[in-house]
Amino acid sequence: MARPAVITAERRKTRQIKVGDVAIGGGAPVSVQSMTTTKTADVDGTLSQIYALAGAGADIVRCTCNEQAAAEGLARIIPRSPVPIVADIHFHHEMALAALEAGVHGLRLNPGNLRKPEEIRLVASEARDRGVPIRIGVNAGSLHPDLYKRFGGATPEALVESARMELAYFEEVDFHDVKISVKASNVPLMIESYRLASETFDHPLHLGVTEAGPPPAGLLKATAGIATLLAEGIGDTIRYSLTADPVEEARAGRQLLEALGLRERKGLDLIACPSCGRAEIDVIGVAKEVQAALEEKNLPIQVAVMGCVVNGPGEAREADLGIAAGRKKGHLFIKGKIVRVVPEDEMVEALVAEADRIVAEGIEARLAAADSTAEAEAEADRRALLEKKGEDANNSEVRVNLIRKTIGGEKD
Ligand code: SF4
């Protein structure tokens, strides 16, 4: 069921760091991050969100550490968390020191609002002694005012310079366990900034479009930025910043990596044809029904819902399992081969049962168990539909002929 990677660009070589047991950079799988929205002092509430995020695909979770109560919360959360925890630090370097005392697996510092060199060096020294990595989290919206002035705005050069300056403080105390982000809410600026960062540093890069907003626009913006860079081989860990339940962020991150072939499929991938004049069923309705039936099981397979048996099994031959409609029947197929024909009103049920069997027994075993008459029955249905609707079910050829007659003056 593993699919080959579709990203052909070679991944940019970066150093490797480890956030808890999750390796980032240096050829490690691209990881997914998300951030809790609870008060970190609310230990049970935060832990339950961390578990939900981990279940949705987050490899690492970040929690804010903005006050003493949050740091104390972290001390209680970390031993019970299923994934490594990063503390998000703004303005107060003491909060970084407190988070280190709490046992965090990583820190995120914002160079735009933590500016005193001696404080930055102190945090880096403490992190170095404890073997805890730090993300230099530059953000276009909170860029240091001096850099803003020097570069005439939040340009890619300004964002990268901010990271470089912070890195220089770290290097003064011999601390190198670093990853970098140069986020912006403007997608072209974000892309250019990361391209420049990738040319400038060999540290792993954490990708994100900051404040992308609510879905669907937020999802599109984040995907446009993150996917473009991943396709160029840039990026070692990602976060969707959505104005939504963070579970959606984790799920989106995971789904993007799976869609790009950068992570192995962990959950269901439902595909469906766009429907056309040949459709024998309400494709949208059946796809929703299948999604509802399979979503909870979250099986790691690709399932196709196709509107007709004329083209469906062929068009979706890469899918592990699929259903195509025709002549009041459901034609169940595995890797494009028809394995069973069932009445139309039983096809969703049959599809779900077959999905379970595929996961339990494997594709080959289920292909071997195919109903020997199914292919012939499907072919007969296919032929009958072709005769009924003809080869040109969408009337495209008829229209083309009309256009030729109108424009070109062709005669019958
Ligand atoms: S030809 Fe069949 S499978 Fe393809 S889009 Fe039309 S209905 Fe769907």
Smallest CA separation from ligand 1 atom 6, residue: 276
CA of 220 to the centre of ligand 1 (A): 26
Architecture in CATH for domain 17-259? Alpha-Beta Barrel (3.20)
- Comparing CA positions, the residue from 143, 139, 130 lying closest to residue 108 is 139
Residues 391, 224: Cα–Cα separation, whole Å: 38
Phi, then psi, of 110 in degrees rounded to 5:
-100, 110
- Kindly report which listed range (122-136, 141-155, 332-346, 396-410) carries the lowest average pLDDT score: 396-410
60-74: average pLDDT: 96
Q: Residues with beta carbon inside 6 Å of ligand 1? A: 273-276, 278-279, 306-308, 310-312, 315
Structure tokens at 392: 């040109």
Smallest CA separation from ligand 1 atom 1, residue: 311
CA of 216 to the centre of ligand 1 (A): 26
> Percent of the chain having pLDDT more than 70?
97
Smallest CA separation from ligand 1 atom 3, residue: 312
Element (H, E) at 146: helix 145-151
CA of 379 to the centre of ligand 1 (A): 16
- The one-character DSSP state at 308 is -
Residues 117, 169: Cα–Cα separation, whole Å: 7
- Kindly report which listed range (81-85, 201-205, 256-260, 398-402) carries the lowest average pLDDT score: 398-402
Quick one: which atom of ligand 1 is closest to the CA of 312?
A: 3
Pairing of strands 106-109, 85-89: parallel
- Comparing CA positions, the residue from 164, 174, 116, 94 lying closest to residue 136 is 164
Q: Which residues pair with 18 in a beta bridge?
A: 23
Q: Tell me how far CA of residue 170 lies from CA of 95, 125, 143, 147, in angstroms.
A: 18, 8, 19, 19
CA of 306 to the centre of ligand 1 (A): 6
CA of 392 to the centre of ligand 1 (A): 12
Q: Which residues pair with 242 in a beta bridge?
A: 213
Q: What is the pLDDT of residue 403?
A: 83
What residue segments make up the domains of the chain, in order of their start?
Answer: 17-259, 269-389
Smallest CA separation from ligand 1 atom 5, residue: 275
Query: What global pTM score does this model have?
Result: 0.81
pLDDT tens digits along 38-58:
999 999 999 999 999 998 999
Tell me which of 3.40.190.10, 3.40.30.10, 3.30.565.10, 3.30.413.10 is the CATH number of domain 269-389.
3.30.413.10
Quick one: which atom of ligand 1 is closest to the CA of 279?
A: 7
Residues 326, 332: Cα–Cα separation, whole Å: 11
Quick one: which atom of ligand 1 is closest to the CA of 274?
A: 5
Mean pLDDT of the chain: 92
Q: Please say whether the beta carbons of 281 and 385 come within 8 A.
A: no
CA of 277 to the centre of ligand 1 (A): 8
Q: What is the pLDDT of residue 2?
A: 46
CA of 346 to the centre of ligand 1 (A): 20
**Residue 7 predicted with pLDDT over 70:** no
Quick one: which atom of ligand 1 is closest to the CA of 394?
A: 6
HEC string of 242-261? ECCCHHHHHHHHHHHHHHCC
Pairing of strands 85-89, 321-326: unpaired
Residues 375, 267: Cα–Cα separation, whole Å: 29
Smallest CA separation from ligand 1 atom 2, residue: 308
Structure tokens at 382: 């296919």
Strands (E), 110-213: 134-139, 178-183, 206-207
CA of 75 to the centre of ligand 1 (A): 55
358-365: average pLDDT: 94
54-70: average pLDDT: 95
- Which of 278, 283, 327 gets mutated to test ligand 1 (max ligand atoms within 8 A of its CB)? 278
Q: Which residues pair with 337 in a beta bridge?
A: 334
pLDDT tens digits along 21-43:
999 999 999 999 999 999 999 99
pLDDT tens digits along 144-194:
899 999 999 999 999 999 999 999 999 999 999 999 999 999 999 999 999
Is 269-389 in the same CATH topology as 17-259?
A: no
Structure tokens at 15: 């150093």
- Residue 4's pLDDT band, with cuts at 50, 70 and 90, is very low
Quick one: which atom of ligand 1 is closest to the CA of 309?
A: 2
Residues 209, 60: Cα–Cα separation, whole Å: 18
**Sign of the dihedral defined by the CA atoms of residues 271, 276, 280, 283, in that order:** positive
- Where b means 16+ CB within 10 Å and e means fewer, 76-87 reads ebbeebebbbbb
CA of 299 to the centre of ligand 1 (A): 25
Q: What is the pLDDT of residue 1?
A: 45
